[in-house]
Amino acid sequence: MYKIVRKKTLNPTVTQMEILAPLVARKAKPGQFIILRVDPEGERIPLTIAGSNPEEGTVKIIFQIVGATTFLLNQKKEGESIQDFVGPLGVPTHTEGIRNVCVVGGGVGCAIAMPVAEEFHRLGARVTSIIGFRSKDLLILEDEFKACSDQLVVMTDDGSYGRHGNVTVPLKEKLEKGENFDLIITIGPLIMMKFVTLTAKPFGVPVTASMNPIMIDGTGMCGGCRITLIEDGKRVTKFACVDGPDFNAYEIDFDEAMSRGRMYADFEHHAYEEACNLMKNA
C-alpha cells in the first residue's frame, strides 16, 4: 500500500497528490511515468511523474478527473493509501546538449511539461515555456513555470487570462523573429501537439511530443499503447510505454492516434457515471 502524503486541488477537475514511494522517488526522472491501482479490484492507469523528492521518498502525480479510476482516486484523502504504485516506467526526456528549449504545454499536459522545464532549467538551459488553457478557471502551475522559465507565455482560448488564443500563436511569432530553439517539446492534447508540430515544421526546428495513449501493463506486452511512426516512408509500430513516451513529433501519425484515443470515450464516461452513482449510494 502507498500512502497519500499530501493532496491539493489545482482546479475543479485537476488534483495533485504526493505519494510515499521511496524506491520510485529514488530513480524517477522527468518524462517517466507510473502505473497505479486505487484498490485490489481497480484498473491500472498510467500517470506521468510530476516531480519527486528522493529525500522525503515522495512522488508527485497530477491527474484530471475524467473516468471511474480518476474519480475514485480523487475520493482518497491525505493519510489514506492506494493499492499499487509501480515505476518509474518509460524513457526519460532527452536533455543532453540542449541549451535553448521551448516547452509547450496544454491543459493538464502542463503537469507533465513542468518537471521537464524544471530539469532543463536545473541543467542551465534557456527555457521558454508556453502554456495554454481553455479559460482562467483551468489554469494550473503558473508559479512553478515562472520559477523555472526565462520566459513564460500563458494563453487562454477565451482570453480570460494571459493572451487570447492558442499556444501556436506565440510559438509562430518567436520562430518568425528568428528564435533559435535547439528543441521544442510539446505535451498536451493530441490536436494541440499536431498543430505545434505543423507550426514548427517550416522552420526546421526539432520537435518532441510526449504521447499518453491507453496503457494496461506498461511493459509493451498488451499492445494497447501502440502508436504509428512514419520512418523513411514506412509505417512502424512503437509502444509508448517502453519506446516512449517521447517521440520525434514529425514521425507521429497524429490522426491515427486521435482516432484510437476516441475509441473508449463513451465507455470511460459510462464508467465514470457508474462510479459516481456508487459513491452517492454508499
* Distance from C-alpha of 204 to C-alpha of 199, rounded to nearest angstrom: 10
- Residue 280 located in a structural domain: no
- The pTM assigned to this predicted structure is 0.86
* Distance from C-alpha of 269 to C-alpha of 264, rounded to nearest angstrom: 9
Cβ within 8 Å of residue 232, ≥6 positions away: none
Q: Are residues 161 and 68 in the same domain?
A: no
Is the pLDDT confidence value at 276 over 70?
no
Is the pLDDT confidence value at 281 over 80?
no
Q: Are residues 201 and 234 in the same domain?
A: yes
- Residue 77 located in a structural domain: yes
Instruction: Give residue 272's pLDDT.
Output: 45
CATH number of the structural domain spanning residue 105: 3.40.50.80
Q: Which of 65, 89, 113 is the last residue of a domain?
A: 89
- Residue 279 located in a structural domain: no
Write out the three cell numbers for 187: 505535451
Q: Are residues 119 and 230 in the same domain?
A: yes
Q: Are residues 75 and 160 in the same domain?
A: no
* Distance from C-alpha of 203 to C-alpha of 183, rounded to nearest angstrom: 12
Residue 39 DSSP symbol: S
Q: Are residues 49 and 141 in the same domain?
A: no
- Residue 281 located in a structural domain: no
Residue 106: name the closest of 18, 17, 214, 197 by CA.
197
Instruction: Give residue 137's pLDDT.
Output: 93
Q: Are residues 62 and 105 in the same domain?
A: no
Q: Among the listed ranges 169-183, 189-203, 254-268, which one has the minimum average pLDDT value?
A: 254-268
Instruction: Give residue 99's pLDDT.
Output: 96
The domain in which residue 45 lies consists of 2-89
* Distance from C-alpha of 66 to C-alpha of 74, rounded to nearest angstrom: 11
CATH number of the structural domain spanning residue 27: 2.40.30.10
Instruction: Give residue 163's pLDDT.
Output: 95
* Distance from C-alpha of 42 to C-alpha of 68, rounded to nearest angstrom: 9
pLDDT in tens, 3-45: 999 999 999 899 999 999 999 999 999 999 999 999 998 888 9
Q: Are residues 133 and 229 in the same domain?
A: yes
β-strands 207-210, 246-248 pairing: antiparallel
pLDDT in tens, 192-238: 999 999 999 999 999 999 998 777 777 778 888 888 999 888 999 99
pLDDT band at 273 (very low <50, low <70, confident <90, very high): low
* Number of domains the chain contains: 2
Residue 28 DSSP symbol: -
